[in-house]
Structure 1
Amino acid sequence: MDLEIIVQGAQAESKPELKLWLRLLSTTKLISHEIRRRLRAEYGATLPQFDLLAQLYRERDGLRLGELSRRTMVTNGNVTGLVERLEADGLVVRETPDGDRRVTVAKLTPKGEEFFAGMAAAHEGWLRDMMADVSPELIQSMLREVGLLKISARNHLSGAEEE
């Protein structure tokens, strides 16, 4: 069901903030669904796996599992399961620096780096394709405007952390 169905006619005109939020949410949901489908079909990967690999790709020395959990907004238990699966596929290794078994760091293997680089390039292409009907100028304008919206939202948080 399209979330924008909730807001119709005169009600939408009198509640532009609600309409904007629903439009952003439904657009994000639409794009995320397609990205998930393509990741699964073309790489046998999930979006959480993609996100985890992206974090490790940025941090070549690896990341502690707790930090991976924080950055990907996935529970510690789920991060452990994701890392175990990616390790079984030969994409990630787990290390215990200085022999301290209380600390586990996940790192990409060379195979993982190559796999993620291909997936990331495809991901960029998919986004470019999905936004092909929007001019580069409009995309830049929207980036600025949504940036202002994000600042406003952040300014009015009530103690919750920013995502």
Structure 2
Amino acid sequence: MSDIPDLESRTVPEDHHDLRLWLRMLTCCNLIESDIRTRLRTEYQTTLPRFDLMAQLLRVPGGMKMSELSQHMMVTNGNITGITDQLEREGLVERVKVATDRRSSLIRLTSKGKRTFKKMAQSHEQWVQSMFSGVSEKSRAALFEALGELKLVTQARMARRDTRA
């Protein structure tokens, strides 16, 4: 663990409660993501973006265009190209030309890619479960409900803002 204080620890009791709550949520997300990144790197010699790209492809067995992957993962086409090139060199994905558009290719997992991803996904699920195992079932259920409420309220506020723009 780093000696750099997390975002929440930088607050003081006088800070607004909602700000402290936001920073606590962000700190928890950052800690969990950092742990997952470390485990992927040490146990599978891979990165979270590579894992995420493979997860997208597993959901669409026929494959996806680079632009679709870019939209789903909310990163640039350049990022997708770089990750795809690496995965293709390792035999985990393949590019398949689209018959109706010679300029486009579909990216899809190879058999090796599917097997590799399924092992990683199983480990990923176990890691996440272990991270939450110290929190009571009642607290996890309450947190899930509270975050669901926050999600709905935030989406509604954003939708109202978009209609005014």
For the criterion TM > 0.5, the same-fold answer is: yes
- Counterpart residue number, 1:23: 24
Asked if 1:8 is matched to 2:2, the reply is no
Task: Write out aligned runs for 1:97-116 (5 A).
Answer: 97-98=98-99, 100-116=101-117
Q: Distance in 2 between matches of 1:91 and 1:148?
A: 39
State the one-letter code of the partner of 1:7: T
- Counterpart residue number, 1:138: 139
Shift of 1:6: 2.9
Q: Distance in 2 between matches of 1:127 and 1:136?
A: 14
Aligned length: 156
Q: Distance in 2 between matches of 1:155 and 1:16?
A: 22
Identity, % of aligned pairs? 42
Q: Distance in 2 between matches of 1:122 and 1:148?
A: 29
Ranges in structure 1 where 5+ consecutive residues have no aligned partner: none
Q: Distance in 2 between matches of 1:57 and 1:109?
A: 10
State the one-letter code of the partner of 1:137: K
Q: Distance in 1 between matches of 2:141 and 2:99?
A: 46
Shift of 1:99: 5.7
TM-score where L is the length of structure 2: 0.90
| Structure 1 runs (4+) greater than 4 angstroms displaced | none
Shift of 1:41: 0.4
Shift of 1:137: 2.8
Task: Write out aligned runs for 1:1-163 (5 A).
Answer: 1-9=5-13, 11-12=14-15, 15-98=16-99, 100-157=101-158, 158-159=161-162
Shift of 1:100: 2.1
TM-score where L is the length of structure 1: 0.91
What is the alpha-carbon root mean square deviation over aligned residues? 1.2
State the one-letter code of the partner of 2:145: R
Query: Which secondary structure does the structure 2 equivalent of 1:8 belong to?
Result: coil
Query: Which secondary structure does the structure 2 equivalent of 1:61 belong to?
Result: coil
State the one-letter code of the partner of 2:9: I
Query: Which secondary structure does the structure 1 equivalent of 2:104 belong to?
Result: coil
Q: Distance in 2 between matches of 1:102 and 1:52?
A: 21
State the one-letter code of the partner of 2:55: A
1 or 2, which has the higher strand percentage?
Answer: 2
Q: Distance in 2 between matches of 1:101 and 1:54?
A: 26
Q: Distance in 2 between matches of 1:101 and 1:78?
A: 22
